[in-house]
């Protein structure tokens, strides 16, 4: 006789269960499909956001168990969340994916033919710039010396399917960029405050121009309120009365330990109206179980 464990949801256990409301929010409209890189490459419904939500919901409703096949479709997801910003129904895909992957991991369900050695190698190298950098020196030499053209022309990697696939995906490795200065003075009369730039573990090697351009622009950007921070959040009015991507509320510091959180002053992120502001998605933990009826920030011109 099966027993219902409190908090469990179908095939999912009670620890960090995917949200049933989030799963039910999918109306199968398919607007997310063109945004999904795995669907565009593989053309398989179960490798689309809609298909993955369908699988997770089937598990939540106990219509399927946590199977290696399900793990395979979720394993192929890049977690890029391009589907989340495209979705008109506000399906919290990132939260659903992370919770389901945790469940699969905890239950020891792994995709068939998972290449654990390659995964381990990638995880041991790519997040560490002091390992990735030296490896790229070798790859740069391989490309620039003409060896790559020769290997491809003669089909030398044909007997090694996996290595050949990885080699085929290798982008042109750019020349090593000069390191960015530790401190770049701000420019302009209104400049104040200090901004930091995260160089990224792979971006600093593959797209060094992006970091250099970011620094170039930041030195001209005045930071109007260096003592103010904001919290992105969602509430039950999202997508109904307010912007569905969540809103922000400022934290005004009284002293170093206290903050005032006034939801009456919450506002829609500017990025919807003004491209000079970034718009981070609120993390799932920042969801309020009630509606906050508030308007938009109306900054005063000085
Ligand atoms: S856009 Fe959203 S609601 Fe539509 S199919 Fe994709 S996940 Fe479901
Ligand atoms: S997170 Fe990215 S790869 Fe995964 S389903 Fe969404 S768009 Fe596709």
Q: What is the pLDDT of residues 8-41, one digit of tens each?
A: 889 999 888 999 999 999 999 999 999 999 999 8
Looking at the chain, how many residues does it have? 302
Residue 186 lies in a domain: no
Give CA–CA dist 154/152, Å, rounded. Answer: 6
Chain segment 50-86, per-residue pLDDT in tens: 999 999 999 999 999 999 999 999 999 999 999 998 9
Residue 247 lies in a domain: yes
Comparison of pLDDT for 227 and 157, the residue scoring more? 157
Nearest CA to ligand 1 atom 1: 87
96 shares a domain with 33: yes
Please say if the pLDDT value at position 189 is more than 80: no
Residue 70 lies in a domain: yes
124 shares a domain with 35: no
Domains in the chain, number = 3
289 shares a domain with 203: yes
The token pair that represents 277 in the structure block: 């502001």
Least confidently predicted of 32-41, 128-137, 138-147, 191-200: 191-200
132 shares a domain with 80: no
237 shares a domain with 204: yes
Stretch 193-204: mean pLDDT: 78
Which of 73, 81, 89, 94 has most ligand 2 atoms within 8 Å of CB, for mutation? 81
The token pair that represents 91 in the structure block: 């399906």
In the prediction, which pLDDT does 301 show? Answer: 44
* Mean pLDDT over the full length of the chain: 82
Question: Contact, 211 vs 200, CB < 8 A?
Answer: yes
Share of the chain above pLDDT 70, in %: 79
Q: Which atom of ligand 1 is nearest to the CA of 28?
A: 5
79 contacts: CB under 8 Å, gap ≥ 6: 94, 97, 98
162 shares a domain with 84: no
124 shares a domain with 94: no
Give CA–CA dist 155/142, Å, rounded. Answer: 15
Please say if the pLDDT value at position 191 is more than 90: no
Decide: 30 in ligand 1 pocket, CB within 6 A: yes
Question: Contact, 118 vs 162, CB < 8 A?
Answer: yes
215 shares a domain with 133: no
Residue 4 lies in a domain: no
Residue 64 lies in a domain: yes
- Point out the ligand nearest to the CA of residue 24: 1
Q: How far is CA 46 from CA 20, 36, 165, in A?
A: 19, 12, 23
Give CA–CA dist 23/19, Å, rounded. Answer: 6
Decide: 37 in ligand 2 pocket, CB within 6 A: yes
Give residue 270's pLDDT band: very low, low, confident or very high (50, 70, 90): low
Q: Which atom of ligand 2 is nearest to the CA of 49?
A: 5
| Range of the structural domain that residue 96 is part of | 20-106
Please say if the pLDDT value at position 90 is more than 80: yes
Kind and range of the H or E element at 289?
none
Please say if the pLDDT value at position 299 is more than 50: no
Question: Contact, 65 vs 31, CB < 8 A?
Answer: no
Q: Which atom of ligand 2 is nearest to the CA of 79?
A: 1
Decide: 49 in ligand 1 pocket, CB within 6 A: yes
Decide: 29 in ligand 1 pocket, CB within 6 A: yes
Nearest CA to ligand 1 atom 8: 26
Give CA–CA dist 246/267, Å, rounded. Answer: 9
Nearest CA to ligand 2 atom 7: 36
Question: The domain spanning residue 84 has which CATH number?
Answer: 1.10.1060.10
Predicted TM-score (pTM) of this structure: 0.55
Residue 245 lies in a domain: yes
In the prediction, which pLDDT does 171 show? Answer: 86
Which of 42, 51, 55, 83 has most ligand 2 atoms within 8 Å of CB, for mutation? 83
Helix, strand, coil percent values for the chain (each to nearest 5):
40, 10, 50
Please say if the pLDDT value at position 147 is more than 70: yes
Stretch 118-134: mean pLDDT: 88
Please say if the pLDDT value at position 184 is more than 80: no
Decide: 87 in ligand 1 pocket, CB within 6 A: yes
Give CA–CA dist 242/160, Å, rounded. Answer: 54
The token pair that represents 165 in the structure block: 């696939």
Range ranked top by mean pLDDT from 49-63, 118-132, 263-277:
49-63
In the prediction, which pLDDT does 295 show? Answer: 58
In the prediction, which pLDDT does 190 show? Answer: 60
Chain segment 200-231, per-residue pLDDT in tens: 888 889 888 888 888 877 766 655 555 556 77
203 shares a domain with 162: no
Comparison of pLDDT for 220 and 249, the residue scoring more? 249
Kind and range of the H or E element at 251?
strand 247-253
102 shares a domain with 140: no
Stretch 232-241: mean pLDDT: 78
Instruction: From 85, 106, 127, give the residue that closes a domain.
Output: 106
Decide: 52 in ligand 2 pocket, CB within 6 A: yes
135 shares a domain with 93: no
Helices (H), the chain: 20-24, 37-42, 49-60, 68-75, 82-86, 93-106, 116-125, 129-144, 147-154, 161-169, 203-206, 208-218
Angle, nearest 10°, between helix axes 93-106 and 49-60? 50
Please say if the pLDDT value at position 187 is more than 60: yes
In the prediction, which pLDDT does 221 show? Answer: 61
Q: How far is the CA of 245 from the centre of ligand 1 (A)?
A: 14
User: Which is nearest to 93 in space by CA: 133, 132, 55?
Assistant: 55
Residue 240 lies in a domain: yes
Chain segment 277-288, per-residue pLDDT in tens: 555 667 777 888
Stretch 255-276: mean pLDDT: 63
Which residue is listed with tokens 């600093």? 204
Residue 301 lies in a domain: no
Give residue 136's pLDDT band: very low, low, confident or very high (50, 70, 90): very high
User: Which is nearest to 230 in space by CA: 259, 195, 271, 258?
Assistant: 259
Q: How far is the CA of 228 from the centre of ligand 2 (A)?
A: 33
141 shares a domain with 101: no
Decide: 51 in ligand 2 pocket, CB within 6 A: no
3-class secondary structure, 112:
coil
């Amino acid at each position: 006789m099966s027993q219902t464990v409190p908090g469990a949801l179908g095939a999912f256990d009670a620890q960090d269960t995917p949200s049933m409301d989030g799963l039910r929010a999918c109306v199968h409209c398919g607007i997310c499909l063109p945004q999904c890189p795995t669907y565009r490459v593989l053309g398989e419904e179960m490798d689309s956001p809609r298909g993955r939500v369908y699988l997770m919901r089937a598990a939540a409703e106990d219509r399927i168990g946590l199977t290696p096949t399900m793990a395979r479709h979720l394993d192929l997801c890049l977690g890029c969340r391009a589907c989340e910003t495209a979705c008109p129904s506000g399906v919290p895909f990132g939260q659903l994916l992370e919770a389901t992957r945790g469940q699969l991991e905890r239950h020891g369900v792994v995709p068939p033919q998972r290449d654990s050695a390659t995964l381990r190698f990638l995880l041991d190298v790519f997040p560490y710039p002091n390992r990735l950098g030296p490896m790229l020196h070798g790859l740069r030499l391989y490309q620039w010396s003409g060896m790559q053209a020769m290997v491809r022309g003669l089909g030398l990697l044909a007997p090694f399917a996996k290595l050949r696939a990885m080699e085929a995906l290798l982008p042109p490795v750019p020349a090593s960029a000069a390191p960015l200065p530790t401190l770049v003075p701000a420019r302009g009369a209104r400049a104040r405050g200090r901004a930091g730039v995260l160089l990224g573990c792979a971006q600093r090697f593959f797209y060094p121009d992006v970091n250099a351009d970011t620094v170039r622009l930041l030195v001209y950007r005045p930071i109007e309120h260096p003592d103010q921070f904001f919290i992105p959040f969602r509430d039950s009015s999202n997508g109904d009365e307010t912007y569905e991507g969540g809103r922000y509320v400022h934290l005004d510091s009284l002293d170093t330990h206290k903050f005032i959180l006034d939801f009456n002053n919450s506002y829609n992120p500017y990025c919807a109206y003004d491209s000079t502001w970034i718009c981070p998605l609120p993390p799932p933990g920042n969801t309020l179980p009630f509606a906050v009826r508030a308007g938009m920030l109306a900054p005063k011109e000085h």
